[in-house]
Structure 1
Amino acid sequence: MLSVESGELLLELWHEYETCETPEAKFARALDKLEVQHQYNPADLKTWTEQELGLVYSKMDRECAHDSSLSALLAVFRARAEMKMVQAGVDPAAVKARAG
């Protein structure tokens, strides 16, 4: 349904995102990872798997490290997740240690 030019541009942008070599692609990839945590934070902690708890500490650091604003946003999302863990009786330090 796209024109040839639009289809080619979309494919080119997708490859740029996948290779994550440009500043824009790195930024988009980081936002993609942060969005997942932003969606998880409001969910009941009972719905989180052990793996999902660990992702609070392992999924986003590398993706956000190149930009101080993204790192700051990550810190906010992580703090919210940790507050949720504490309220549910889960030790964030233990989760972080298991996530390694």
Structure 2
Amino acid sequence: MEGKKTTVLLAFLGGVVVGGIAALLLAPASGSEVRKKIKEEVDEALEKVRAEAETLKAKEEEITSKAKEIIETKKEELKEAIEKSKETLKEKKEELASKLLKKEEV
């Protein structure tokens, strides 16, 4: 889902840049003014892309951190469940062995 949003955002920003450049080229102005405006438009678009990239990187780091926490929690829960199962199995084994010994004695 995030990938689609990023793609759409980048496509939109690319469209803005291309549209801005086209508008500048078609507007009546001197060559140096047009180049200056194009440079400003490109710089502005690049800054927006950089800002969005930083935002996405921060979100990625946050999600990765949360995922690691969840994995560690589940890992510990699984270890505890395995240990509890081992203890229960040992108790049942001892209980069954005790019953078998009592039957043999009778």
TM-score (norm 1): 0.31
Task: Say which structure is richer in helix.
Answer: 2
Provide TM-score, normalisation by structure 2: 0.29
Larger radius of gyration between Structure 1 and Structure 2? 2
Where relative contact order (Cα < 8 A, 6+ residues apart) is larger, the structure is 1
